[in-house]
């Protein structure tokens, strides 16, 4: 879609800095916004054949924890990617829109993350009746 509508998107180069990948899902009774802080790293070789923006990133805190948290959260496989939007922006948007927000970053630990998912489920279930 984007390469056709916006040909320049397919030629974007990336910078080796921090960024945020995010995705929004419908959970049946609410929307959930999941964000993962990532570190963009330079590639060893050019990536000229990719049909999308070219970025290689390492998720925080590491791939094992970030992937597990993303899957537990029901994270979608289509994501947005931004150097400019911060997790604070996304949190503010979620608060204003009444959307659940989950952050995966260097402080994420799976047991606590799963507890947060359980507590959030309870909150959104009880909040419907209030």
| Interacting residues of 30 by C-beta distance below 8 A, sequence separation 6+ | 99, 100, 124
Contacts of range 94-102, beta carbons closer than 8 Å, 24 or more positions apart: 94/33, 97/31, 99/24, 99/30, 99/31, 99/32, 99/33, 100/27, 100/30, 100/31, 100/32, 100/33, 100/124, 101/32, 101/33, 101/35, 102/32, 102/33, 102/34, 102/35, 102/69, 102/73
- The band of 9, judged by pLDDT with boundaries at 50, 70 and 90, is very low
Q: Structural domain of residue 84, as residue ranges?
A: 2-127
- What does the longest C-alpha to C-alpha distance in the chain come to? 55
Supply the pLDDT for residue 46.
81
- The band of 7, judged by pLDDT with boundaries at 50, 70 and 90, is very low
Nearest residue to 37 (alpha-carbon basis) of 101, 107, 99, 115? 107
List, for residues 76-130, the tens digit of each pLDDT value. 988 998 989 999 999 999 999 999 999 999 999 999 999 999 999 999 999 887 6
Q: To the nearest whole percent, how much of the chain has pLDDT over 90?
A: 65
- The band of 54, judged by pLDDT with boundaries at 50, 70 and 90, is confident
Reply yes or no: is the peptide bond before residue 61 cis, omega within 30 of 0: yes
d(CA 56, CA 90): 22
**Rounded mean pLDDT, 1-12:** 44
Q: How many domains does the chain fold into?
A: 1
List, for residues 12-28, the tens digit of each pLDDT value. 556 678 999 999 999 99
Supply the pLDDT for residue 35.
98
d(CA 98, CA 89): 14
């Amino acid at each position: 879609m984007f390469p056709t509508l916006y040909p320049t998107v397919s030629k974007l180069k990336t910078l080796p800095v921090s960024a945020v990948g995010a995705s929004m899902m419908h959970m049946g009774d609410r929307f959930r916004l999941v964000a993962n802080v990532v570190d963009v790293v330079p590639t060893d070789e050019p990536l000229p054949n990719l049909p999308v923006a070219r970025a290689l990133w390492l998720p925080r805190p590491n791939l094992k924890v970030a992937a597990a948290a993303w899957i537990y959260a029901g994270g979608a496989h289509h994501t947005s990617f931004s150097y400019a939007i911060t997790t604070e922006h996304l949190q503010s948007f979620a608060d204003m829109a009444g959307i659940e927000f989950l952050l995966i970053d260097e402080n994420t630990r799976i047991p606590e993350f799963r507890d947060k998912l359980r507590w959030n489920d309870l909150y959104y279930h009880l909040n419907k009746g209030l």
